[in-house]
Amino acid sequence: MSLENTTVNKSFDGWTKHFVHRSTTLNCDMRFAIYLPPQTDKGQRVPVLYWLSGLTCTDENFMHKAGAQRTAAALGIAIVAPDTSPRGEGVADADGYDLGQGAGFYVNATQAPWDRHYRMYDYVLTELPQLVEASFPVSDKRSIAGHSMGGHGALVLALRNPDRFRSVSAFSPISNPVDCPWGEKAFAAYLGKDTRAWADYDASMLMRKATAFVPALVDQGKADEFLEKQLRPEALEMAARSSGHPLTINYRDGYDHSYYFIASFIDDHLRFHSQHLTG
């Protein structure tokens, strides 16, 4: 599968690069960013942390704003950040920021017109790792993390595929999307009106019935404007207590939903993942 390299920037003796490729899963061109730590220049194959961004974001937000490269370089971890949805001419879209392009919700859509392109779950689970592992000096040791909509996606992918990911973390995840306005709008459009189909993409419902566990870390700002109405971390806590799932939730005084919050604690998340990727 051909890759078009669009940008290259040296960072902490490693490389931040952006690529475009044709996705057969999504039926369109897709972008992703990758940080390759300096160990890869010495012939070492390194583990990968997949980062899923939130509503309105692209493959650029995390790499530009999170400040993750310094610690990723020290730990020897590659980071891969895909775009948040299919895009381009002929790809379905909607008015507003919370549906359509930039708002893929990491599901496999079953409803027209979304089902032609919006299969972000399969893309992140299968196509993107296959491409990354075939094209770069990385191993098949994987963890996954994300923010907001991307935190929802990371938790769902890890909980449904505990054999594929060694750990999962999230900042301000949409924890119970079947019971919040963002999730209800997106799931009704992408998955249809039958709410029974929604359960496969709800982290709290999946964690409640989990029997195979992936270590999970969540950070949530207590000044987040979306905390009570959209994010509902208490549902995730209750699910973890019910199933015994290993979950740590840190509530951070004064922090909001922004990348200032992510940049403040991303090093903790990278060290958490490193323990499971290299320990």
- Alpha carbons 252 and 211: distance in angstroms, whole number: 29
Beta strands in 99-236 (DSSP E): 138-147, 168-171, 216-221
CA distances from 48 to 29, 37, 136, 171, 200 (A): 22, 10, 11, 18, 25
Q: How many CB atoms lie within 10 A of CB 31?
A: 18
- Alpha carbons 113 and 91: distance in angstroms, whole number: 9
Q: Considering only CA atoms, which of 135, 162, 176, 142 is closest in space to residue 52?
A: 142
Cα dihedral value 139, 142, 147, 150, nearest 10: 100
Active site residue 204: no
Query: Which of these is catalytic: 257, 269, 273, 274?
Result: 257
Q: Which amino acid is at 9?
A: N
Active site residue 148: yes
User: Cis peptide leading into 113, omega within 30 of 0?
Assistant: yes
Active site residue 179: no
Query: Which of these is catalytic: 117, 219, 224, 245?
Result: 224
- Alpha carbons 103 and 143: distance in angstroms, whole number: 22
Q: CA 141, 172, 87: angle at the middle one, nearest 5?
A: 70
Q: Considering only CA atoms, which of 270, 55, 36, 21 is closest in space to residue 169?
A: 270
Are the CB atoms for 164 and 188 separated by under 8 Å? Answer: no
Query: Which of these is catalytic: 23, 148, 167, 169?
Result: 148
Instruction: Show the tokens assigned to 128.
Output: 């993107």
Residues assigned a catalytic role = 148, 224, 257
